[in-house]
Amino acid sequence: MALKRKDKPIGLVKDNMSPSALKEMPKHVKNGGGRNSPMIGDNGLMLEEGDNRRFMTINKELLYMENIDLNDVEQVKKRLAEYFDLYARFDVKPTVVGMAIALNGHNRHWLWAVVHDAPLGGRGNVEKLPTLVTTCIKKAYNMLENSWETYMQNGKINPVAGIFLGKNNFAYKDQTEHIVTPNAGEQINTEEIKQRYITGDSIE
């Protein structure tokens, strides 16, 4: 059974607001607009009965996973398969942090460093894992990115949350490029500049 949120009447909200806050409220909100925006309050939340139980069960199973030998590619492959199977069993989207926890309780910063061959914690130390192991982990991480993109393209994730995850987990960003080109106007050679400097003429 779905748990439905009861919207508070916009009139009641306005009655409880101070005059200054009411004055600053956008006109469309005063009139009740934007109620369905995923950006306002807990709009967009789709909480089903039993969701918290499923999420906590996943976390508990991740917590009690025994450590493996991260230098053994076969053990790493098996653990990553167990990780994906765990989320599939509960019909929950897999997470980056969940993958890191499955790999001996690490955090997402460690996983990012392994995937991008980057130093750990800014100390200049790179995790020394066999190439076969890092390749396996990178493939699994790319699967997470592919899943995220699939969810976004098919409307299976809140756009606001999806954009946040893309920027934080997969280095996507909003970027505007500014291209600066040299002035294509009059070209002045060095001898001409020197002569004008000596005679006091200005360069226009």
Residue 18: HSE in the Cβ half-sphere, 13 Å Cα cutoff? 3
pTM to 2 decimal places: 0.62
Do 93 and 87 touch, CB atoms closer than 8 A?
A: yes
Sign of the C-alpha dihedral, residues 124, 129, 131, 133? negative
Q: Which of 82, 85, 67, 74 is nearest to 136 (CA)?
A: 74
pLDDT at site 112: 92
pLDDT at site 2: 46
Residue in this structure with the two tokens 């003429």, named with its chain if needed: 201
List CB contacts of 203: < 8 A, sequence separation 6 or more. Answer: 188, 193, 196
Question: What are the average pLDDT values for consecutive 10-residue runs of the chain, which has 204 residues?
Answer: 45 53 56 55 67 94 97 97 97 95 95 88 73 96 89 83 79 72 62 71 54
pLDDT at site 10: 42
Reading the block at residue 180, the tokens are 């600066």
pLDDT at site 46: 67
